[in-house]
């Protein structure tokens, strides 16, 4: 009887579907450990089945790959898409086009976002938010040269625009264009007023490129230390940068 049970168990484990489910569970478990999502780790150790699937949709895919770590300030409810489309159809206002484009940006749908921002600018060419967000959208599409005048124009009018996010995008643009000295100055301007991991990690990367590992290490240590005391929502939002900081500090 024992042999029969062992044979049945062996056959069950060798099932392709079961092997796929086990591999998926291990994949999500490893990701949760790396992101220090300890509550999810505990749940996945306790039980199988639905837990890794919930983690996949609620955490792993929480931010689209195209804009992970580069989200615009504020959260946008995806259910607003249809409402905004209706308002655009009836009213065709610039801010409706811009708000819809922001949602597409958050979803990683950059082509749709770009079209929305351009439609908004046709109706209101001076809107700072739309110009800045279009610049960020172009940057995420590896079109830094097109993004630069938009971002520089907004920063010239308001260096604190979008709580420093526009300034960060300008620093990333300058880095992408190979102007590292100018980018370094902008990153220092950002970190003087904000403690964004996105800024500190990319500043550290520039320091490493310039052969200044001690300055890089200081910033990376701050990112890791701050993460330990950050609220859960912030840790989820910044996990890309914290993970990069942990990887970089090993080589410093």
pTM for this predicted structure: 0.75
Domains of the chain: 2-60 (no CATH), 69-162 (1.25.40.10)
190 sits in which H/E element:
helix 180-193
pLDDT value at position 40? 80
**Angle 128-140/94-107 helices, nearest 10 degrees?**
30
Q: For residue range 137-157, what is the model confidence (pLDDT) as tens digits? A: 999 999 999 999 999 999 999
From the list 106, 129, 130, 127, the residue with the least C-alpha distance to 116 is 130
Give pLDDT tens digits for 170-181.
Answer: 999 999 999 999
Roughly what angle, to the nearest 10 degrees, separates helices 165-176 and 197-209? 30
pLDDT per 10-residue tile (average), the chain, 252 residues: 49 65 82 74 77 76 62 64 92 96 91 97 98 98 98 98 97 98 98 97 97 97 95 88 95 88
Q: How far is CA 39 from CA 29, 56, 125, in A?
A: 11, 14, 47
pLDDT at position 6: 44
């Amino acid at each position: 009887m024992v042999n029969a049970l062992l044979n049945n168990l062996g056959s069950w484990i060798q099932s392709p579907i079961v092997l796929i489910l086990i591999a998926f569970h291990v994949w999500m478990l490893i990701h949760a450990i790396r992101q220090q999502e300890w509550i999810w780790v505990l749940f996945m150790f306790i039980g199988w089945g639905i837990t890794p699937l919930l983690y996949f949709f609620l955490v792993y895919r929480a931010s689209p790959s195209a804009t992970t770590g580069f989200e615009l300030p504020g959260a946008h409810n995806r259910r607003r898409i249809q409402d905004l489309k209706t308002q655009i159809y009836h009213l065709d206002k610039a801010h409706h086009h811009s708000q819809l484009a922001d949602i597409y940006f958050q979803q990683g749908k950059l082509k749709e976002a770009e079209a929305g921002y351009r439609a908004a600018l046709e109706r209101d060419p001076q809107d700072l938010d739309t110009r800045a967000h279009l610049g960020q959208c172009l940057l995420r599409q590896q079109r830094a040269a097109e993004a630069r005048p938009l971002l520089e124009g907004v920063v010239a009018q308001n260096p604190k625009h979008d709580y420093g996010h526009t300034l960060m995008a300008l620093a990333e643009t300058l880095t992408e264009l190979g102007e590292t000295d100018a980018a370094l100055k902008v990153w220092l301007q950002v970190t003087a007023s904000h403690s964004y991991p996105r800024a500190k990690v990319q500043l550290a990367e520039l320091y490493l490129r310039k052969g200044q590992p001690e300055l890089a290490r200081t910033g990376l240590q701050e990112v890791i230390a701050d993460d330990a005391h950050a609220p859960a929502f912030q840790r989820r939002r910044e996990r890309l940068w914290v993970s990069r900081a942990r990887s970089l500090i090993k080589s410093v």
